[in-house]
Chain A
Amino acid sequence: MDWDLALILLVDGLANGSVYLLAGIGLVLIFSVTRVLFVPFGDIAAFAALTLAAFEAGRLPATVGMVATLAALATLAETWRLLRIGEHRRLGRALVGWGLLPLLPCAVAWGVVESQAPGWLQILATLLLVLPIIPLVARLTLQPIADASVLVLLMVSLVLHFLLSGLGLLFFGAEGSRTKPLTSLNWEVVAGFTVGGQTLLMVAAALLLSALFYLAFEYTVIGKALRATAVNRVGARLVGIRPAQTALLAYCGASLLAGLIGVLVAPTTTMYYDSGFIIGLRAFIAAIIGALTSYPLTAVGALAVGIFESFASFWSGALKDAIVFGLLIPVLILRSYMALHVDDEIEELDE
Chain B
Amino acid sequence: MNKRVNTFLVALLVATIAVLPAMIGSFGTALMNDIGVSTLVVLGLVMLTGTGGATSFGQAAFVGIAAYATGWLTTTQDLSPWLGLLFALFLTGAAALAIGMLTLHLGGHYLPLSTIAWGLSIPLLFGNIAALGSNTGLANIPPLQIGPWSLMEAKTIYYLIWPVVGLAFLFSYNLMNSRAGRAIRSLRGGATLLGSVGADAYRVRLWLFVTAAQLAAIAGWLYAHMNRFVSPSAFNLRASIEYLLMAIAGGVGHLAGALFGSGVVLLLKNKVQDALQILSSNGARLEIIVFGIVFILLLHFARGGAMGLIARWSARRKTPSAPALADDGTPPLPRRPLPTRGSEILRVEHALKRFGGLVAVNDVSFTVNAGEIVGLIGPNGAGKSTLFNLVTGAAPVSGGTIAFCGRDITHLPQRRIARLGMARTFQHVNLRPNMSVLDSVALGAHARGSAGMLRGGLSLDRREEHQIMAEAWRQLARVGLAERAGERAGSLPLGWQRILEIARALAADPILLVLDEPAAGLRKQEKAALAELLRGLRSEGITILIVEHDMDFVMKLVDRLVVMNFGSMLLQDSPAVVRADPRVQSAYLGSVL
Q: Let me know if A347 is at the binding interface, CB within 8 A.
A: yes
A347 x B53 contact (CB < 8 A):
yes
A351, B118: Cα distance in complex, Å: 28
Q: A92 to B225, alpha carbons, bound, how many Å? A: 61
Q: Which of A145, A165, A343 contacts B108 (CB 8 A)?
A: A343
Q: A151 contacts B55, CB within 8 Å?
A: yes
A346 lies within 8 A of chain B by Cβ: yes
Q: Which residues of chain A are near B120, meaning CB under 8 Å? A: 281, 321-322, 325
Q: Which of A170-221 contact B (CB under 8 A)?
A: 170
The reply to whether A167 and B289 form a contact with Cβ atoms under 8 Å apart is: yes
Given known A151-B109, A332-B117, A344-B191, contact A166–B253 (CB-CB < 8 A): no
Considering the complex, give the chain A residue whose CB is closest to the CB of B193: A344
Docked pose: A165 CA to B285 CA in angstroms: 10
Kindly specify which of B7-15, B266-274, B293-301, B480-488 makes contact with the partner chain.
B293-301
Query: Contact at B117–A346, with CB atoms within 8 Å?
Result: no
- Label chain A's interface by main secondary structure: helix
Contacts of B304 in A (CB 8 A): 350-351
Contact of B125 among A322, A332, A348, A349 (CB under 8 A): A322
A333 and B102 form a contact (CB under 8 A): yes
Complex Cα spacing A164 to B252, Å: 26
Residue picked from B191, B248, B282, B299, most chain A C-beta under 10 Å = B299
| Chain A CB within 8 A of B303 CB | yes
In the complex, whether A86 has a CB less than 8 A from a CB of chain B is no
Kindly supply a per-residue 1/0 record for chain A positions 293-333, scoring 1 wherever the CB is within 8 Å of any chain B CB and 0 otherwise. Answer: 00000000000000000000000001101100110110011
Q: Pick the residue among A159, A335, A339 that contacts B241 (CB under 8 A).
A: A159
Would you call B288 and A318 a contact (CB within 8 A)? no
Q: Are A162 and B118 in contact (CB under 8 A)?
A: no
A329 and B118 within 8 A (CB): yes
What residues of A have a CB within 8 angstroms of the CB of B105 in the complex? Answer: 333, 336
Considering only residues 284-312 of chain B, those with a C-beta below 8 Å from chain A are 285-289, 291-293, 295-296, 299-300, 303-305, 308
The reply to whether the CB of B121 lies closer than 8 angstroms to some CB of chain A is yes
Query: What are the interface flags for B105-123 relative to A under an 8 Å C-beta threshold, 1 for contact and 0 otherwise?
Result: 1111110111011101100
**Residue from the list B117, B191, B241, B299 in contact with A328, Cβ < 8 A:** B117
- Determine if A166 and B112 form an interchain contact, defined as CB atoms under 8 angstroms apart: no
> Is B190 a contact partner of A345 (Cβ separation < 8 A)?
yes
A83 within 8 A of B: no
Q: Is A158's CB within 8 Å of the partner chain B? A: yes
**Counting CB contacts under 8 A, is B238 at the interface?**
yes
| Interface residues on chain A, size class | 35 or more
Residue B72 is within 8 A (CB to CB) of chain A in the complex: no
B308/A350 in contact, CB under 8 A: yes
Write out the residue numbers on chain A whose beta carbons fall within 8 Å of the beta carbon of B108: 150, 336, 339, 342-343
How many residues in B have their beta carbons less than 8 Å from beta carbons of A?
55
> Binary interface profile of B, 437-477, with partner A (CB < 8 Å = 1, else 0)?
00000000000000000000000000000000000000000
B251 contacts partner chain A, Cβ-Cβ < 8 Å:
yes
Closest to B109 in A: A150
A333→B105 CA distance, assembly (Å): 8
CB pair A151 B112 closer than 8 Å: yes
B110 touches A332 (CB 8 A): yes
Q: How far is the CB of A119 from chain B (nearest CB, A)?
A: 32
Chain B 98-142 interface mask (CB, 8 Å, partner A; 1/0): 000011011111101110111011001100100000000000000
A155 at the interface (CB under 8 A from B): yes
Known: A151-B112, A328-B117, A349-B50. A163 touches B128 (CB 8 A): no
Decide: A159 and B295 in contact? CB cutoff 8 A: yes
State whether B49 touches A349 (Cβ < 8 A): yes
Report B438 CB to chain A, min CB distance, Å: 22
Q: Which residue of chain A lies nearest to B433 when distances are taken between CB atoms in the complex?
A: A351
Asked whether any CB of chain B lies closer than 8 Å to the CB of A82, the reply is no
Q: Is chain B's interface secondary structure helix, strand, loop, or mixed overall?
A: helix
Complex contact B102–A329 (CB within 8 A): yes
Does B169 have its Cβ within 8 Å of any Cβ on chain A?
no
A145-B299, A151-B55 given; A162·B238 CB < 8 A = yes
Asked if B292 and A336 make an inter-chain contact with CB atoms under 8 angstroms apart, the answer reads: no
- Chain A residues with CB under 8 Å of B187's CB are 346
Q: Give the CA-CA distance A155 to B103 in the complex, in Å.
A: 19
Please give, as numbers and ranges, the residues of chain B lying within 8 Å of A270 by CB-CB distance. Answer: none
Residue B188 is within 8 A (CB to CB) of chain A in the complex: yes
Q: From the candidates A151, A159, A335, A350, name the one contacting B251 in the complex (CB within 8 A).
A: A350
For the complex, give the distance between the alpha carbons of A350 and B187 in Å: 15
Say yes or no for B244: interface residue by CB 8 A criterion. yes
Q: Which residue of A lies closest to B240 (CB)?
A: A158
- Measured between beta carbons, the chain B residues less than 8 angstroms from A281 are 120
B241 touches A162 (CB 8 A): yes
| Known A154-B109, A339-B108; contact A163-B124, beta-carbon cutoff 8 A | no
Contact A160 B303 (CB under 8 A): no
CB distance from B22 to the nearest CB of A (A): 37
Given known A170-B286, A349-B50, contact A326–B192 (CB-CB < 8 A): no
Per-position binary interface string of chain B over residues 172-197, scored 1 when its CB falls under 8 Å from any chain A CB and 0 otherwise: 00000000000000011011100000
Closest-CB distance, A111 to chain B (whole angstroms) = 30
For B113, the closest partner residue in chain A by CB is A332
Assess whether A226 is interfacial by the CB under 8 Å rule. no
**A144 in contact with B300 (CB, 8 Å):** yes
Contacts of A333 in B (CB 8 A): 102-103, 105-106
Any chain A CB within 8 A of the CB of B235?
A: no
Instruction: For the complex, give the distance between the alpha carbons of A332 and B105 in Å.
Output: 10
Question: Which one of B49, B55, B291 has the highest number of Cβ atoms from chain A below 10 Å of its Cβ?
Answer: B55
B109 adjacent to A156 (CB under 8 Å): no
Q: How far is the CB of A150 from chain B (nearest CB, A)?
A: 5
Q: Does A108 contact B (CB under 8 A)?
A: no
Per the bound structure, the CA–CA distance linking A222 and B299 in Å amounts to 31
Contact between chains at B109 and A162 (CB < 8 Å): no
Are B109 and A141 in contact, CB atoms less than 8 angstroms apart? no
Q: How distant is A88 from chain B, measured CB to nearest CB, in Å?
A: 24
A 97-128 contacts with B by CB, 8 A: none
| Chain A residue at smallest Cβ distance from B103 | A329
Tell me whether A342 and B296 are in contact (CB under 8 A). no
Minimum-distance CB pairs A-B, first 4: A163-B292, A342-B107, A328-B117, A166-B288
Known: A37-B113, A166-B291. 17 other contacts (CB 8 A): A154-B112, A158-B116, A159-B299, A162-B291, A164-B292, A288-B110, A319-B128, A321-B120, A325-B124, A328-B114, A336-B108, A339-B108, A339-B110, A346-B54, A346-B188, A351-B303, A351-B304
A-B CB contact pairs (8 Å), 10 listed:
A154-B113, A159-B292, A162-B292, A163-B296, A288-B113, A328-B117, A332-B106, A339-B110, A346-B188, A347-B109
Question: What is A's interface to B at a CB cutoff of 8 Å?
Answer: 37, 141, 144-145, 148, 150-152, 154-156, 158-160, 162-167, 169-170, 281, 288, 318-319, 321-322, 325-326, 328-329, 332-333, 335-336, 339, 342-351
